[in-house]
Structure 1
Amino acid sequence: MFKIKVPASSANIGPGFDVLGIGLNLYLEITLSNDSSDTSKDKHNGKIIYSGEGKENVPLETEKNLVTATALYVMRCNGMEKFPPGTVIEIHNPIPLGRGLGSSGAAIVGGSMIGNYYLGNKFSKERLLDYCLLIERHPDNIAAAMLGGFVGSYLNELDEKETQEKSVPLTSILPKEDTPATQIVSKPPPHKIGEYLKYNWNEKIKCIAIIPNFEVSTDDARSILPSSYEKADIIFNLQRLAILTSSLSQDPPNSQLIYNSMKDKLHQPYRSTLIPGLTKILDTLKPEENPGLCGICLSGAGPTILCLAVDNFDQLANKIIDMFKVEGIQCSWKLLELAYDGATTKN
């Protein structure tokens, strides 16, 4: 029996659009075992047992489930087309789907680690991120899920051949039933597609995730963004980004400095049209009127709101929940800490 745990994540922290992510201690859990008596007719020898968020709609065929399809991709690129006969893959997922807490990133990271296990654990986390990036294409969520803690990332400039390899269609990496065999990728990805750096984090700062009861499609959230930006808005984010990465490590936390350096002009203003009440929440909750609050931002593409705080967690969560109620939206909330170790395994 082999166990894998992958944390949820929050990306786009403050001004760090497509740059900053944090791993959170809410874990996707995967257990691998073998049942030689299993008569599963899955064409890749895998039986999926799924529980948790989205249970009613999550596909259980190994080529359609994001976790196992990722595992099969990693294996296929290294000469292994199927799971060993009798493979049982138990997946428990408490991470809300489509809410900006990295459910797909966790699934992809977890799948890559399944593939790595059946290949004899031959790859480092950093190499597995190359595989993950061909599926996710944005490093902030998957880096936080794989490496844990508070992570910055960027994509390397690759040569022409590597760029072509990186840009293959997703259906060639996670093939559908009608994908021609000649188009299915079975070659390992380029090395070092991205670079990653873990920052320090003051452990007094906790994360309040306020989770509205509706989903926001990542594709919708990206399509609503402009194709170009005003120079002043870009400078606004860069200035705050330079301060935020250090301010979150200071002790005691400087709540006003963190709050101001978490402001953003590149994605939150545009995504407010998809999330009723977002602008009011971001504009009205301030540290001077809410003791314990350090900063507030949209988590990933939303609709989850992420509050950084050192105290008064219940009061802050309930205040935001009440503001969403005015818009007719119900919410739940979780108090989370950073998952400093990222994805972990255990025999």
Structure 2
Amino acid sequence: MAQRSFVVRVPCTSSNIGPGFDVLGLSLSMYLKLYVEVDASRTELRVPQLRYSGQGAEDAPLDPYRNLITRVALYVLRVNGATQFPVGVSIHVVNDIPFGRGLGSSGAAVVAGLLLGNELGELHIPRDRLLDYALMIERHPDNVTAALIGGFVGSYLLELSGQDAETTKVPLSEVLPEYPPDAGASWGRDPPTPPHNIGHYIRFGWAPEIKVIAIVPHFEVLTAEARRVLPDAYAKHDVVFNLQRLAVLTTSLARSPPDVHLIFQAMQDRVHQPYRKHLIPGLPRILASVTPTTHPGLLGICLSGAGPTILALATDNLEHIAQTICAEFAKESITCDVQFLDVIEQGATVEQN
């Protein structure tokens, strides 16, 4: 088609829900959106023209060979035999997801790039196969799976062997190279094709009474730093503690009406939150003082991803819960934004205009 337009919508995500470190992901109603126009008559646009608004707009690279979204799209195209972008592409990125706050901003960008490349190339790659592409780029499955598939999901990586295992170990710099400004059809070698079934997932239920509050402090926690503070080995009793609660949590969040005591106890964690508390001022006090006893309607509270966002699950008194957590951060001279979010069952979408 000489002219067409479409919209890519990718929800934000929360991961590491309670004891579900690197396992659980939750798709939520705050979005990264791409408004895309393709006009083949605009031959002056040899590469996509990018503009940004919303969160991070002042820092986002507008060079499509540097921008994460368009680099991912180009990866999808190149793997499928299209050596460069189509002519005449313009993209307006509208981003509501804050960077570095534990709400899956990088995972959303990866998924947006996958859907963009799939649509620009008219490749018709199915959703489960796109997950393989995502896991070649984002090696932790929880955020990208939730963003792509939607809802409340558990995911894991398979133990691959032979050439498939070697392919998944290809450095990210070779999967998503930083292209030179004059990159074209003949640039570089072909990128690695993702093996099939790098990871698998399952969708859990979510009780309709359970609402989500995201308290977003005005500072960033770098994922690399949050990973660095975790230990290389854990005591057996801490691993068992998390496994016991994880097994209970995934079922209890689907039951209606929710069991407050069961969920609150099952949201406890000993694998990542204790080691990251010094990165987030006030976190130990918040986790200890905001409970269903002090705040009726609260079901559970945890870090979202690596933080610093706090995720609270509740059926009632959402404003009061949010105000209390914000007040605790204020004691550390930290201001916050509050988002009251819904769980999104659909995941990322492409809508034709």
TM, length-normalised to structure 1: 0.96
Q: Which of 75, 92, 103 is 1:90 aligned to? A: 92
SS at match of 1:45: coil
Q: How does 1:241-320 map to 2 (within 5 A)?
A: 241-320=246-325
Structure 2 distance, partners of 1:335, 1:30, is 23
Greater shift, 114-123 or 322-331, is seen at: 114-123
Which residue does 2:115 correspond to in 1? 113
SS at match of 1:154: strand
Q: % of aligned pairs identical?
A: 50
> For residue 222 of structure 1, what is the amino acid of its counterpart?
R
Does residue 18 (structure 1) correspond to residue 22 (structure 2)? The answer is yes
Which residue does 2:332 correspond to in 1? 327
Cα deviation, residue 155, structure 1: 0.5
Structure 1 distance, partners of 2:202, 2:53, is 33
* Superposition CA RMSD, Å: 1.7
Cα deviation, residue 160, structure 1: 2.4
- Structure 2 gaps of 5+ residues are none
Structure 2 distance, partners of 1:325, 1:214, is 13
Task: Judge conservation of contact 1:173–1:185 (CA < 8 Å) in 2.
Answer: no
Which residue does 1:172 correspond to in 2? 174
Cα deviation, residue 185, structure 1: 4.8
Which residue does 2:33 correspond to in 1? 29
> For residue 305 of structure 1, what is the amino acid of its counterpart?
I
Cα gap change, 1:308/1:117 in structure 2, threshold over 3 Å: closer, same or farther?
A: same
Does residue 236 (structure 1) correspond to residue 250 (structure 2)? The answer is no
Task: Judge conservation of contact 2:167–2:192 (CA < 8 Å) in 1.
Answer: no
Question: Cα deviation per residue 1:296-334 (whole Å; 9 max; x = unaligned)?
Answer: 000001000000001111100000000001011110100
Structure 1 distance, partners of 2:313, 2:155, is 21
Cα deviation, residue 119, structure 1: 2.4
Which residue does 1:8 correspond to in 2? 12
Task: Judge conservation of contact 1:158–1:193 (CA < 8 Å) in 2.
Answer: yes
Which residue does 2:138 correspond to in 1? 136
Does residue 158 (structure 1) correspond to residue 154 (structure 2)? The answer is no
Does residue 217 (structure 1) correspond to residue 222 (structure 2)? The answer is yes
Structure 1 distance, partners of 2:58, 2:192, is 34
Task: Judge conservation of contact 1:40–1:46 (CA < 8 Å) in 2.
Answer: no
Task: Judge conservation of contact 1:40–1:47 (CA < 8 Å) in 2.
Answer: no
Task: Judge conservation of contact 2:66–2:179 (CA < 8 Å) in 1.
Answer: no
Question: Cα deviation per residue 1:10-41 (whole Å; 9 max; x = unaligned)?
Answer: 00000000000000011111121124565766
Task: Judge conservation of contact 1:8–1:23 (CA < 8 Å) in 2.
Answer: yes
Structure 2 distance, partners of 1:108, 1:115, is 11
> For residue 20 of structure 1, what is the amino acid of its counterpart?
L
Cα deviation, residue 116, structure 1: 0.7
Equivalenced residues, count: 345
SS at match of 1:252: coil
Greater shift, 233-242 or 25-34, is seen at: 25-34
Structure 2 distance, partners of 1:276, 1:39, is 52
Structure 1 distance, partners of 2:44, 2:294, is 58
Structure 2 distance, partners of 1:237, 1:126, is 28
SS at match of 2:279: coil
TM, length-normalised to structure 2: 0.94
Which residue does 1:199 correspond to in 2? 204
Structure 2 distance, partners of 1:177, 1:152, is 34
Question: Cα deviation per residue 1:193-234 (whole Å; 9 max; x = unaligned)?
Answer: 000100000011010000000011000100110011001100
Structure 2 distance, partners of 1:135, 1:183, is 18
Structure 1 distance, partners of 2:302, 2:91, is 35
Q: How does 1:57-72 map to 2 (within 5 A)?
A: 57-72=59-74
Cα deviation, residue 121, structure 1: 3.8
Cα deviation, residue 255, structure 1: 1.1
Structure 2 distance, partners of 1:248, 1:31, is 35
SS at match of 1:333: strand
Task: Judge conservation of contact 2:65–2:71 (CA < 8 Å) in 1.
Answer: yes
Structure 1 distance, partners of 2:320, 2:87, is 52
> For residue 122 of structure 1, what is the amino acid of its counterpart?
H
Q: Which of 101, 116, 125 is 1:123 aligned to? A: 125
Cα deviation, residue 184, structure 1: 4.9
Cα gap change, 1:346/1:121 in structure 2, threshold over 3 Å: closer, same or farther?
A: farther
Task: Judge conservation of contact 1:172–1:184 (CA < 8 Å) in 2.
Answer: no
Question: Cα deviation per residue 1:248-285 (whole Å; 9 max; x = unaligned)?
Answer: 01111111110110000000000111111111111111
Cα gap change, 1:39/1:85 in structure 2, threshold over 3 Å: closer, same or farther?
A: closer
Question: Cα deviation per residue 1:55-85 (whole Å; 9 max; x = unaligned)?
Answer: 1110011111111110001111111122211
